[in-house]
Structure 1
């Protein structure tokens, strides 16, 4: 049995996880698959890699226990990080952003000498010229992260040469999860289907999302969810899309200096008004020389900064150091 298969079997057989790993294509599961693609099997020897679950039953006393925590502190699977007994059994906790590390350190006093930040990464996306006949917006994440507010804003903007493409479904986390939660968001999905200038795709495989992003102009993401990193934002910027979003969670850390931000607002009407202003400005200025030069710089920078070629070196260095 390979080291990677051993780790994957442990995750797949973890009944305390809210989703089945093999069926889920969420950010965390996709990052683990890419980690295994880019880091050779030999580096995982003697490593018990635990994904997003501070469950004491997952500790392996015969191996080095590494918890890769990409969830936010308020998630059920993170609660045991408040237990000193559990943390004492961990050799390291890997966080996906400095913002996320700081939240866990503040909330649970995770020892700094057991903590490391290794940011998420994406596979490089080749640059493609964008179509000039219209401006295409995209929203490609789960519905609870801000889709309702985007729909409200998009309808107020109401420009004939602007379309919205929505790739959103709970099915990204697997059939069982989708059956349980899709009904909750059915009215939003139906609104997408029945609205002018909106193309609703539902769930799309990531490879199809990437191909779509190459034709998109703006990732419109009025996030109301505390992202601990944000794969969808990184992919969009790598594909040459402007990003209009909020400063909530790790979005500012992840997307600076290229993202166009509004401050998060508990008054959701205020949030929509601010987002509408920022998004309208971005649409109006999209084809300006200044913005086009910035997008070229953004594509080059993001593809280098968040490449798995670079991130794999960080993981290999960390795993080698851990064993010494």
Structure 2
């Protein structure tokens, strides 16, 4: 597919910026998603406030100017995806090609000024689909604007690549944590830092030696240091002066991942309505206990692993300009509950029960919340909405696939092979037909020919999990166990619900002498069979 991401802010960044400088969550998510889509072979563009055009980690980065080249690009796209700012749909739609679909991908709450244009019916109708990052967020937009639910989807955020595999399987997570424990605050300053600092001395009193590291500033929004200090300097200075607190500020994601690996807890006394919260997901990937608010999308994001504190009784939530909540009676009651929960978790943080929870938490994030996983979800969705699936595999192709399966069930493999070959001559870009051909060839024992057919199917559709699983089985028949393991694992990564592949993989691993890993996949197969 040919896809352009449009960030209509004035921010100057490229894909590599997410690895090099502190960058806001929405922009970081865009960078990692765009990079992963490019790695899958799609033609990806980022149009934003960059001052210089160029390639960045496989993505073409261009200044968002009104010129003939940009207009020609717009007309050639499969999908144009606007980040976070409504109000441009009516202007952009006439510039796009007839078949180009326009998407609004927002990580904001509906009350923000940047979203108010959705109250204009014509603006709302200009978007073919709206993409949200949590069910909570989508429901708020449905309540606020006249949006057709069928035109919406939830595609969640994920962890930065730096947070992937910080703890490989069988790693002792607690052994990596500093003792006495270190707590971290990693969000922007207006989302609860004021409240956390007000109770930290009591946390330290209850758990002697506890320290707090604060990774926070508005630098992630490309705000000048002078302006940042003029608004939030009082908080930063309080950090610098408080015993046991180290103010570090915002740092690039690779450095943050390295720091969080040894930190015991994300202490996020959140006073802000989060639509997702990448900071929480990345702390979970880092093996940190998460204590935060039972507020907005955070229950979804923590997925049952967080220690959530009720916000019952509070009156209003923080914003960029309204964040000094530590003296408010309604939030002071919350602060007392947050203190109690934090101390409770810290008193038990090195127990076997806690170690087991962290292990499951990290496994969940690594399986479900990487940009490799998310990008494939995006591909499936975009292909569906843009009609790519129909172009690659029209109904006639799917009918032929069903016909071939019927022939194989009747033992007519020769007819099945001939039918596939005739169909491929007519539809040479169909991965499904090459998969069907591979199935027919293997029934005749033509393993090498089947391998070539499955490999071609994967070349045409890199996300074709069934073809990768079948290729793994062919290599198993040839007793090339390492290759079989490779393709079985790839199939599971693409489609985690392929129960039979877990059984096959456990068998091959056992035959290859990898007994511990074989048991892991056998247990997962049993879990999925029960489900």
TM-score by length of 1: 0.92
After superposition, the C-alpha distances for 1:237-260 in whole angstroms (9 at most, x for unaligned) are: 011100000011100111021000
Q: 1:271 aligns with which of 334, 356, 373?
A: 334
CA-CA distance at 1:302 after TM superposition? 1.5
* Aligned partner of residue 86 in structure 2, secondary structure: coil
Aligned to 1:46: 78
Distance 1:98 1:235 in 2: 20
Distance 1:58 1:285 in 2: 56
Aligned to 1:293: 356
Aligned to 2:34: 36
Aligned to 2:152: 115
Aligned to 1:208: 255
Aligned to 1:170: 218
After superposition, the C-alpha distances for 1:125-182 in whole angstroms (9 at most, x for unaligned) are: 4215323531010001101000011001111222432000000101111144x54343
Distance 1:254 1:290 in 2: 22
- In structure 1, stretches of 5+ residues that fail to align are none
Aligned to 1:314: 377
Q: 1:126 aligns with which of 155, 161, 166?
A: 166
1:136 aligns with 2:182: yes
Larger radius of gyration: 2
Aligned to 2:305: 258
> Alpha carbons of 1:306 and 1:58: their partners in 2 closer, same or farther (altered >3 Å)?
farther
CA contact (8 A) 1:96 1:119 kept: yes
Deviates more, 1:33-42 or 1:248-257: 33-42
CA-CA distance at 1:195 after TM superposition? 1.2
CA contact (8 A) 2:204 2:211 kept: no
> Alpha carbons of 1:305 and 1:296: their partners in 2 closer, same or farther (altered >3 Å)?
same
Ranges of 4+ aligned residues in structure 1 off by more than 6 Å: none
* Number of aligned residue pairs: 314
Distance 1:132 1:34 in 2: 30
CA-CA distance at 1:294 after TM superposition? 0.7
After superposition, the C-alpha distances for 1:187-220 in whole angstroms (9 at most, x for unaligned) are: 1100101111111101211111111110110000
Distance 1:148 1:270 in 2: 15
Aligned to 1:222: 269
Aligned to 1:20: 11
Distance 1:201 1:294 in 2: 29
* Aligned partner of residue 266 in structure 2, secondary structure: strand
- In structure 2, stretches of 5+ residues that fail to align are 45-76, 168-172, 315-329, 388-531
Q: 2:114 aligns with which of 70, 77, 82?
A: 77
CA-CA distance at 1:59 after TM superposition? 2.2
Aligned to 1:154: 200
CA contact (8 A) 1:43 1:316 kept: no
Q: 1:184 aligns with which of 231, 234, 245?
A: 231
Deviates more, 1:98-107 or 1:35-44: 35-44
* Aligned partner of residue 120 in structure 1, secondary structure: coil
Distance 1:58 1:205 in 2: 35
After superposition, the C-alpha distances for 1:40-74 in whole angstroms (9 at most, x for unaligned) are: 36365321110000013652322311000111111
* Aligned partner of residue 199 in structure 1, secondary structure: strand
Distance 1:139 1:125 in 2: 22
CA contact (8 A) 1:171 1:182 kept: no
Distance 2:291 2:380 in 1: 34
CA contact (8 A) 1:43 1:320 kept: no
Deviates more, 1:77-86 or 1:123-132: 123-132
TM-score by length of 2: 0.57
